[in-house]
Structure 1
Amino acid sequence: MTIPFYDRSLAGSKELIAELPALGYTDAWSAEVNGVDGFTPLALAAEWAPELRLGSAIVPVSTRGPGLLAMSAATLADLAPGRFVLGIGASSPAIVEQWNAGEFVKPYARTRDTLRFLKKALRGEKVSETYETFAVKGFKLERAPKTPPKIVLAALRPRMLHLAAEEADGAITNWLSPEDVPKVREEIAPDTELIARLFVCVSEDTEKVREMARWMLTTYLNVPVYAEFHRWLGRGEILKPMFDAWAAGDRQGALKALPDEVVDELVVHGDAQTCKARIQKYVDQGLNTPVLALIPGGEVPIAQAVRDLAP
């Protein structure tokens, strides 16, 4: 489950997070865009629901220095030994440059270099090394975690997927259909954990869900990395009218150009049993860890949807 929940604050999520293990949920994953940060919800969940595996999906590699990222990860690993998974990724130019005054340069190399640095630092090694995208001199964690966390990478296309499989402990993907999973899975080893956030709305009002989800999708799919991801998945032609309208500055035209079939492929919706069956399809196609992100606005309140969707 993605925490905190979209319909409430982090402070207001305590009781529902604490209920997750009894409902059968195994994991709680944070996100970091322009709401909560990626670490604080997990630190609280470590106390509120100590049975859960905790993961960040994802923390950008270019909005913090390498040492600070290692310190934050070590803190979580100490709070939840053996239960914390550090998810990192390149993020996007808007988040890195426009919102955080960073530099979105060589995203693949920066992610690779950060991964290699973190693996050494979180083992308690002293790191003095010049990487392609940054240099570190004499960094050593004051308190290295007894159990270094696993590290997984946000990965959408083959090059980053291969890096995730070869040097990390898993891959995180996003905004895909069950039928897309095999194409992603074939790029990584069978024993590599594949994680995906699935956006879910428990609602039988199909038109309302489509209207609500269309804005989310149009915004995401026009981010260059997601546009290329969906071209790679084979949606280039069907999404071309939307891409063209967005590039021309016609936001309303882009919304209208996004086909219903694409919305239905990428957003899980319907009654709870329909949603559970759809989620199961992802697993059947090779997804190891479906991370649910419940979208508000359906006729079923999120707290009830969490209970109705329980595995």
Structure 2
Amino acid sequence: MTRWGLTLPLDGVPLHAHRALVEELPGLGYTDVWSAETAGTDAFTPLAMAAAWSPTLRLGTAIVPVHTRGPALLAMSAATLAEAAPGRFVLGVGASSPAIVERWNGIPHTEPYRRVRDTVRFLRRALAGERVDAEYETFTVRGFRLERPPQTPPPILLAALRPGMLRLAVREADGAITNFLGAADVPKVVEAVGAAGAGKELVARIFVCPTEDAAYARQFARRLLSAYLTVPAYAAFHEWLGRGEQLKPLHEAWAAGDREAATRAIPDEVVDALVLHGAPEACREQVLRYVEAGITTPVLALFPTPELAADPGALRRVLRVLGPS
């Protein structure tokens, strides 16, 4: 079964004003809502609100950084949402980035692979209600047991870009969450997952700017992409995907401190591959290419557009067209 998700909260819509929209999403064909955690909302609050507003939508985090909460606090947050929405919550965790972990939270971004692995191993035990007293390679937990373990422990997915983390995701978790890739890149990710990934979930956050104003869409997308593609993990990801030479001018300008030149240096073909734009019908066709290539759960991240700003009723019409029905 292919699921169909939407990232919440939507840009330009206050969190408290999402209720009517969330209530309508199942009727538009959406099965999931997913949250992210960078510098906006935290990952859990929008999903807790959605759990109260909709009795059917599945709720997922994409993703919660493993460094910014202690292991026990992360287990408690996950258990709380799993109790609020029994059988409907998926916990997505990942290494995040040095900017979010170190620069914004003052926590060393050390040994990301091992920290993710150790966190998954701890969460498996904690969310099953076990008492955890263990030394992991990256942290130690002494005598912790959840007072309210969820009746249904949530599946755990890992943010994964390159082969090492993708293999970890299918070996120790229930699937992988990937990000900032084009539909043509999906087969390489699926190949890296290999036969061990059969039956595992593969989520992709897909950025969609539903406007026929290509200049606007590319300008908006370039600002986002310049900030992300210069993060070491994403730079290595796109090197692995074969975009090293295309993105070399971006990295050179960024290293020289010229952010404007770096933003301009991203080629149109890269922008168009990573951020879908055009009429909503055309965007939906592009999303379907991800599904055909092996993504089991496309999760749309909707960008604001002039059309949406000009017409308050346009959002629901666009979401209907972008949905799977």
Q: Which TM-score tier does this pair reach, normalised by the shorter chain?
A: over 0.9
3-state SS in 1 of match to 2:69: coil
Instruction: Give structure 2 stretches of 5+ with no counterpart.
Output: 1-5, 309-313
| Per-residue deviation, 1:183 | 0.4
Question: Which residue identity does 1:201 align to in structure 2?
Answer: C
Matched, 1:257 2:270: no
Question: Which residue identity does 2:317 align to in structure 1?
Answer: Q
Question: In structure 2, what is the equivalent of residue 209 of structure 1?
Answer: 217
Q: Distance in 2 between matches of 1:6 and 1:254?
A: 25
Matched, 1:278 2:280: no
Question: In structure 2, what is the equivalent of residue 139 of structure 1?
Answer: 144
Determine what percentage of the aligned residue pairs are the same residue.
Answer: 60
Q: Distance in 1 between matches of 2:316 and 2:201?
A: 28
Question: In structure 2, what is the equivalent of residue 171 of structure 1?
Answer: 176
CA contact (8 A) 1:218 1:254 kept: yes
Question: In structure 2, what is the equivalent of residue 12 of structure 1?
Answer: 17
Q: Distance in 2 between matches of 1:167 and 1:298?
A: 43
Question: In structure 2, what is the equivalent of residue 83 of structure 1?
Answer: 88
Question: Which residue identity does 1:4 align to in structure 2?
Answer: P
Question: Which residue identity does 1:182 align to in structure 2?
Answer: P
Question: In structure 1, what is the equivalent of residue 3 of structure 2?
Answer: none
Question: In structure 2, what is the equivalent of residue 180 of structure 1?
Answer: 185
3-state SS in 2 of match to 1:186: helix
CA contact (8 A) 1:25 1:310 kept: yes
Question: In structure 2, what is the equivalent of residue 229 of structure 1?
Answer: 237
The 5-angstrom pairing of residues 1-311 of structure 1 reads 1-188=6-193, 189-300=197-308, 301-311=314-324
Q: Distance in 1 between matches of 2:234 and 2:123?
A: 26
| Per-residue deviation, 1:304 | 3.2
CA contact (8 A) 1:7 1:302 kept: no
| Per-residue deviation, 1:298 | 3.9
CA contact (8 A) 1:209 1:298 kept: no
Superposed CA RMSD in Å reads 0.9
Q: Distance in 2 between matches of 1:265 and 1:163?
A: 27
| Deviations 1:56-95, CA, capped at 9 Å, x for gaps | 0000000000000000000011011111000000001111
What TM-score, normalized by structure 2, do the two folds share?
Answer: 0.94
| Deviations 1:257-306, CA, capped at 9 Å, x for gaps | 11001000111111111011000000000111100010002424434322
3-state SS in 2 of match to 1:87: strand
CA contact (8 A) 1:199 1:295 kept: yes
3-state SS in 1 of match to 2:176: strand
3-state SS in 1 of match to 2:305: coil
Question: Which residue identity does 1:45 align to in structure 2?
Answer: A
| Per-residue deviation, 1:239 | 0.5
Q: Distance in 1 between matches of 2:41 and 2:317?
A: 23
Q: Distance in 1 between matches of 2:151 and 2:157?
A: 19
Give the number of equivalent residue pairs. Answer: 311
Instruction: Give structure 1 stretches of 5+ with no counterpart.
Output: none
